[in-house]
Amino acid sequence: MILVAKATKRLSLSGLIKASGARIFGLFAMTAMLLTGCGFGPEIIKISGTKMGTNYSVTVVADQPAPDNLEELIEAELNRVDQSMSTYKSDSEISQFNALAVNKELGVSTDFYKVLKVAEVVWAASGGAFEPTVAPLVDLWGFGPTRRKDELPDPDVIADHLLGLGLDAIKLRREGDRQFVSKTRPVQLDLSAVAKGYAVDLVADLLEMNALPDYLVEVGGEMRVSGSNPDGQPWRLAIETPTLVSQVQEVLALSGGAVATSGDYRNYFEYEGARYSHTLDPRSGYPINHGLASVTVLSDTCAEADAWATALMVMGTHEGMQLANQLGLSVYMISRVKSGFEISISETFDGIEKLSLEDGKSTEI
């Protein structure tokens, strides 16, 4: 039995990412492979579908009965995230916050609060390279709910939008078991660079609460694994080259942790011969313009991996790898050079178990 769970980072959600045109998970896919060898033993449960405008898949190696309504439970977790953080739903929590007046408070869910806390940590540690208040710029460049015009944004308008950015304008407050959020400036949030990873974490936590510790969860290319695959071996996760005809660049063997990838080659537009990536640098207001083609981050949670993949993609190879080593992040970068691609890995990534392409049974996909 071979399972290939494949997706590309920044697919547009119909809430978090639009089905086409906005937020295509730019870059290569992360591919999960269950190698041949199914026979007698634990029950192999596979659940897949479409939520939040992207695909998801869950594989569970169950040595005890799983809930009969496991699929419904999984969809409920994904629906929670979509209803909370979709900028395409007028009644979502994030849409309510974006319409909120300055210095007014909004009561929010625990999910919304937790995602904002993750965003806050990565925003501060990355020096603003990760900027969740980038929503107006995303719309201005045509990668959000607003349809892109057949022209580039005016530089003066970009400069005006930059003045309105900054997660420091968002204030979080807890009172008992309730959470509140407010803004000191008229900022707007876009949490799509964290929310998909957070959705992966919710599903993974759901499985663990139901005594199902051997699993692979994937939502739109972001993954979290635990335990063993159906062959009793670590899960095989493949990093693909950022090319139109994807090929496996590296195969990882993981028994736990989360993996997220960000890149620039699947979601972009061209104007007068120039290419404009969907990944925006909130420090300049313009799409990134450097050699880094993709970055993969390994972390304990997928929300953190997701956010850091975006931050490092903005920063580029040199600045991003310097920070990754400083913070002890496990990072794998693929950069464009004249001769093709160049691989860079952080010090902690060097300790991750890797397989030869033959051992991983990887093929062109």
Has residue 130 been placed in a domain?
Answer: yes
Given a contact cutoff of 8 angstroms between Cβ atoms, the answer to whether 93 and 112 are in contact is: yes
CB under 8 Å, gap of 24 or more: what pairs does 268-273 form? 268/26, 269/142, 269/148, 271/150, 271/151, 271/152
Given a contact cutoff of 8 angstroms between Cβ atoms, the answer to whether 86 and 14 are in contact is: yes
Average pLDDT over residues 43-50: 95
Has residue 116 been placed in a domain?
Answer: yes
Supply 228's token pair. Answer: 């063993």
- 311: CB partners within 8 A, 6+ apart: 122, 125, 126, 129, 130, 320
* pLDDT above 70 (res 359): no
* pLDDT above 90 (res 274): no
Has residue 354 been placed in a domain?
Answer: no
pLDDT at 25: 34
Supply 20's token pair. Answer: 């086409």
pLDDT at 354: 79
Q: What is the pLDDT of residues 235-252, one digit of tens each?
A: 999 998 887 777 889 999
Work out the mean pLDDT of the chain and round it to a whole number.
Answer: 84
* pLDDT above 70 (res 1): no
CB under 8 Å, gap of 24 or more: what pairs does 123-126 form? 123/167, 125/311, 125/323, 125/327, 126/308, 126/311, 126/312, 126/314, 126/315, 126/323
Per-residue confidence band for 362, with pLDDT thresholds at 50, 70 and 90: very low
More confident residue, 272 or 315: 315
Has residue 183 been placed in a domain?
Answer: yes
* pLDDT above 60 (res 12): no
pLDDT at 29: 39
pLDDT at 56: 96
Domain count, the chain: 1
* Separation between Cα atoms, residue 204 and residue 214, nearest integer Å: 10
Has residue 59 been placed in a domain?
Answer: no
Has residue 313 been placed in a domain?
Answer: no
Give the C-alpha distances (Å, rounded to integers) separating 314 from 143, 146, 183, 227, 303: 16, 22, 25, 33, 17
pLDDT at 10: 32
Q: What are phi and psi of 191, to 5 degrees?
A: -100, 15
Average pLDDT over residues 16-35: 37
* pLDDT above 80 (res 197): yes
* pLDDT above 70 (res 361): no
pLDDT at 28: 34
* Separation between Cα atoms, residue 228 and residue 215, nearest integer Å: 7
Has residue 41 been placed in a domain?
Answer: no
Q: What is the pLDDT of residues 65-86, one digit of tens each?
A: 999 999 999 999 999 999 999 9
Sign of torsion, CA 78 79 81 86?
Answer: positive
**CATH number of residue 183's parent domain:** 1.10.3980.10
> Domain residues for 89?
85-192
For residue 332, give the nearest of 256, 219, 267, 252 by alpha carbon: 252
Q: Any bridge partners for residue 238, and if so which?
A: 31, 251
For residue 110, give the nearest of 170, 194, 179, 204 by alpha carbon: 179
Q: What is the pLDDT of residues 83-135, one digit of tens each?
A: 999 988 999 999 999 999 999 999 999 999 999 999 999 999 999 999 999 98
First to last CA, the chain: 17
pLDDT at 302: 98
Has residue 281 been placed in a domain?
Answer: no
Average pLDDT over residues 322-348: 95
